[in-house]
Structure formats: C-alpha cells, structure tokens
Amino acid sequence: MTLKISDLSYEERVQEGIENDFMRQAVASAQGRFRSGRETRAEEIGNWEDWRALGEEIRRHTLNNLDYYLEQLSDEVSKRGGHVFFAEKAEDANAYIQDIVKKKKAKKVVKSKSMVTEEIGLNQALEEVGADVVESDLGEWILQLDDDPPSHIVTPALHKNKEQIRETFAKKRGYTKSEKPEELALFAREQLREEFLSCDIGITGCNFAVAESGAITFVTNEGNARMVTTIPDTQITVMGMERIVPTWEELDILVSLLTRAAVGQKITSYVTAITGTRLAGETDGPEEFHLVIVDNGRSKILGTEFQSTLHCIRCAACINVCPVYRHIGGHAYNSIYPGPIGAVLSPLLDGYESHQELPYASTLCGACTEVCPVKIPLHELLILHRKKMVEEEKMSPKLEQLAMKGYAKWASNAAAYKMGAALARPALKPWIRQETIKKGPGPLKEWTVNRDFPAPAKETFRAWFKKRNKEAPHHDEDL
C-alpha cells in the first residue's frame, strides 16, 4: 500500500506544515479563489441544492448496483475491442500492467494524472520492469522531477512556488529561463511534447466510466490525457471500481457537479470520452486498450455506514474549504488523499493503525459536508471513525476513557452535575489571576500555550436562578 507518503510522526508533519510559510500562503490564496469560483458557478446554475441531491441520488443508486454496472461496463468495453482486468488488490493491478509492458517491450510509458495509480504505487511497479515513466500533468511532472508527493488531489503541486519550480527545471532539465509561470509552462510543453511523441504506452486514470456504452471519460484542462489517448498504440486506463455512471445522462450531472465544485468552471477545457480501441480507418487512438478496474479495499466499505465515502468524485471541494488543511497543508495528512475526504477515506483503505490521528484532525465545523457536491456527510463520518476507534478498536487513551466515564456520571445525574459545576472554580483557583488562567493544569496546559482561558464564574447560573426565584419575580440582581 502506498497511500502513505512519509515516515515522520503526525506532530512532526503538522509542525512542518505550520512552519512552511510559502505553502500556507499558497493554500490560503488558492482556497480564496476556489471559494469565490465555486460560489459564482453554483449561483449561476440555478438550484444548486437540487443538483447536489441529484448527484447524491445517482451515486447511491450506482453503488447499490455496482456489480451490475461493472458487468455492463466490462461487456461494453469488450465489445469495442478492449480487455478488462478486475484487480482485487494493488499488486494484482500492477502485475497485470507490468505484464503488458513486458509483452510490448515498452521503453517509455507516459501517464496522465491519476490518483488511483498513485494509490497502488504503479510508477514504482513500472520502473521495476525497466520502463521509463513520465508524468505528463504539469503539476505531477514538477513533483516527479523533484521526487515529491502530491499535496492536493486536483492541483498536486500546490505547495510549491514558481522559484522552486524554476530551480527544479534548471537542475533536472537544463532550463535557463525565468520563473514566469508562462515560460515554465512553455518549457514543460516542449519537453513533454517529445515524450508524448516517443512513448509506447499511455496510462490514464478515469473520472467516470459510462456503463451503458463502455466509454471512459477524462475531465481535464491541460490536454495531456488527450495526448496519451491519441498518440501511443497501447492505452491502459486504471479506474477505482466506484468511478462509474449508468448512462451518458448521469455523466452530464456528475461532470457538471465536478467541474463546478473542483475549480469553479462551467466545464473544463476537455471532457473526453474514449470507447475501446480506434475504429477501422482511424489513425489516432490505441489499437490495444486495457481497462483495469481496482478494488484495493473499496469493497470493504460497501454495505457499511461508510458507504457514502465511495460517492466521492475527487473534486477536492472539501479540501478547498477546510480551515485545518489551510494551516497544515496536504503532506501533514500523510496520505495521497488529504483533507477531510482523506481523513475519512485513508483509515478505511489502509486501517486505523497507520492513520489514527486523521479522524481527529478536524474541528467538525462541517464546511466539508456543506460543499460536497454529492452530499457525503464528511464530518459525521469523522465522528463515526472516532466512535469505532473508541468503542470497537479500543484505541483511545486510557486517561480519556476515564475522563469520559466520569463525564457520563456527571452529566447523567443533576446532583453530581451541580456539585461538579460548583467545584470547577475552587479546583482551578491556584491558577486563576484576575479572572484569567494564563498557564493551566492538565488538559488546559495545551490550551494556554497560546491562549488565555477564562476562570469559572463565582456563581453558577443555576445558583443565581434559584436565588432569583426565591426573591421578587422582577429582580435585577448582579452576578
């Protein structure tokens, strides 16, 4: 499993993120742009809530009948000359693809952006069989040259600035021009054009497969996915098994939601639908096409309370509104899927042990749930993770367990509550100065590192109310 991207501890990763001023500024400004773009688009299209409801309904129906639609898809792809490989595990997918590379004696493989191939660690598998792998999405190419993992699922190099990119291009590819984004992009265009023209195999991900006709669609802006499905004679498409719609009519809805939620565009520059191999007389497109459908832990999520996680269409809207992500960046999540969706998905795919901090890396503010175009209740699923970790996995700290047992006793008995409330002030008395706690004990210690904490009031509300009721009804006593 290559979901994880670092060996550092959670605390170290968070600290690294918080100290990375450039990254934080870049993420903050990107979030600002995403926010206004998404809002404008949502307003323009009319009843956005209806769109979301429809998106959710389509996703739920599709997942509940996933076996049927995958069967239909594979039949249709097969009818159009494509091979279909169902891969239960990452290793199965990689082995199948390695096999094709070996059979084709392929030297160069060019990829378009794909999260699922990151997830299964395909690049490494390809290198193992001697293939030269080139990422062709601009952001992914930058990261590949620098051997850096993605920090965002739509704009993977969000954490890098143009000076860093210029330096990478200079060091790795002999680039001599300025750090102007246009010049950097032009250089990438020229360099990658060569790669497209000389590659043996093109590998893509898949935004949505259309079951009724066997079409595989890509929603992109740069045109690299079109390149790798136009030039090489062999095309391999890797898709997460849930990335499917019943018919072209549902494709409309999900593409419309995706581009608006992801980048605030009415549509991206290219929405490309490829069906099977090229037809007789055509020169563009593959003569050999393989569709690899990946489970890799997804089926375990089906039929559980977490099933809606598989509704995800990878738009990153939840990431773009998340205030926690803004401060710590994508790498702190230590998963190729960062942000709220990553915090829900990573433990499901890869277990709690490796990702136990993620369900807690959220204030449960609900911003993610509010923007999700397919209505995944992300913050509720984070609470559900916490519940599983506490009640089933017994992973919560002993001290916390004790505290919560105490809480239950306190909150289920008014007399105990009343006593506890009245004792709060005397208990904290040693730390109170001018009605403020500047350096607190126990759990308050963490709070008071950077913030003051108020002292409990001299008299609880209920004590005051009781007194007030005993006296005149319209009594205006000071607290």
Partner 1 sequence: MTKIYNRDAFLENIARHLGRKRQTKKVERPNWHVSPQHSVLRGLSQDELVDILEKQCQEIHTAFKRTNIENLPKTLHDVLSTYKTKSMVVANDSRLKRFGLIPLFNSLKDEINIHLWEEANGKKNQLIAEQADVGISFSEITLAESGTVTLFINKNHGRSISLMPKSYIALIPKSTLVPRLTQATERIHNQVKNGEQVPSCISFVTGPSNSADIEMNLIVGVHGPMHATYIVIEDA
Partner 2 sequence: MKVSLFITCMCDIFSPHVGKHTVELLERFGCEVDFPSQQTCCGQPAFNSGYLTESKVAMKQMMRAFKDAEYVVGPSGSCVGMIREYPKIFAHDPEWREEAEKLASKSYEITQFLVNVLGVKDVGSTFEGKVTYHPSCHMTRILGVKNEPITLLKHIKGIELKELPIKEDCCGFGGTFAVKNSVISSEMASEKSEHVSETEAEYLVGGDMACLMNIGGRMQREGKKVKTLHITEILNHRE
| 9, 36, 124, 247: which one binds partner 1 (CB under 8 A) | 247
206 labelled as ligand-binding?
no
> Beta strand 201-204 with 108-111: parallel, antiparallel or unpaired?
parallel
Segment contacting partner 2 by CB under 8 A, of 188-196, 256-264, 267-275, 415-423:
415-423
Stretch that binds partner 1, among 244-252, 337-345, 372-380, 409-417 (CB under 8 A): 244-252
Structure tokens that stand for 455 in this block: 């002292």
List the one residue from 204, 207, 230, 335 that touches partner 1 (CB under 8 A): 230
Determine the size of the site formed for partner 2 (CB under 8 A). Answer: 66
Residue of the chain from 3, 101, 109, 142 that contacts partner 1 (CB under 8 A)? 142
Q: Is 327 in the site for partner 2 (CB under 8 A)?
A: yes
50: which 2 tokens?
A: 């209806």
Given a contact cutoff of 8 angstroms between Cβ atoms, the answer to whether 227 and 136 are in contact is yes
Q: How far is the C-alpha of 110 from the C-alpha of 144, rounded, in Å?
A: 12
**318 labelled binding-site residue:** yes
Question: Which is closer to partner 2, CB of 8 or CB of 364?
Answer: 364
> What does the DSSP 8-state code read for residue 362?
-
Number of residues that bind partner 1 (CB under 8 A): 110
Query: Which tokens hold the place of 121?
Result: 């660690």
Q: Which of 412, 430, 471, 472 binds partner 2 (CB under 8 A)?
A: 412
Residue 408 host element (H or E): helix 398-411
In a 3-state reduction of DSSP, which class is residue 424? Answer: helix
Cβ proximity to partner 2: between 27 and 116 the closer is: 27
How deeply is 73 buried, as exposed, middle or buried, from its count of CB atoms within 10 A (0-12, 13-18, 19+)?
A: buried
Q: Which is nearer to partner 1, 53 or 424 (CB)?
A: 53
> Which span (124-132, 277-285, 411-419, 440-448) binds partner 1, by CB under 8 A?
277-285
Q: Specify the residue for token string 């105990």.
A: 416
Interface of this chain with partner 2, residues 364 to 403, rule: CB under 8 A: 364-367, 369-370, 383, 385-391, 396, 400
Report how far residue 470's alpha carbon sits from residue 479's, in angstroms, rounded to the nearest whole number: 16
Tokens of 128: 């193992």
Site for partner 1 in 360-419 (CB under 8 A): none
Tell me if 199 contacts partner 1 by CB under 8 A.
no
Name residue 108's beta-bridge partners: 132
- Between CA 252 and CA 269 the distance in angstroms is 15
What does the per-residue mask of binding to partner 1 show for 60-99, with x meaning CB under 8 A? Answer: -x--xxxxxxxx--xx-xx-xxxxxxxxx---x---x---
H-helix or E-strand containing 443?
none
368 is in an annotated binding site: yes
Tell me the residue length of the chain: 479
Cβ density class 265-277: b for 16+ within 10 Å, e for less: eeebeebbebbbb
Q: Give 228-278 as a DSSP string.
A: HTTS-SEEEEEEETT-EESSHHHHHHHHHHHHHHHHS-SS-SEEEEEESSP
Binding window for partner 2 (CB under 8 A); candidates: 53-61, 82-90, 221-229, 459-467: 459-467
- What tokens appear for 264 in the block? 């605030």
The bridge status of strand 208-210 relative to strand 215-220 is antiparallel
- Check the annotation: does 315 bind a ligand: yes
Q: Record the tokens describing residue 183, joined without a space.
A: 């010049």
Q: List binders of partner 2 among 426-455 (CB under 8 A).
A: 436, 443-444, 446-447, 449-454
Select from partner 1, partner 2, none the partner in contact with residue 45, using the beta carbon and a kind-dependent cut-off of 5 to 8 Å.
Answer: partner 1
Residue 303, SS3? Answer: coil
Q: Binding to partner 2 by residue 410, rule CB under 8 A? A: yes
Asked if 411 is part of the footprint of partner 2 (rule: CB under 8 A), the reply reads yes
CB of 207 to partner 1, least distance (A): 12
Q: Is 187 a binder of partner 1 (CB under 8 A)? A: no
Binding residues for [4Fe-4S] cluster: 312, 315, 318, 322, 365, 368, 372
Residue ranges binding partner 2 (CB under 8 A): 11, 14-15, 18, 32, 35, 323-324, 327-328, 359-367, 369-370, 383, 385-391, 396, 400, 404-405, 407-408, 410-414, 417-418, 421, 424, 436, 443-444, 446-447, 449-454, 456-457, 459-462, 464-466, 469, 479
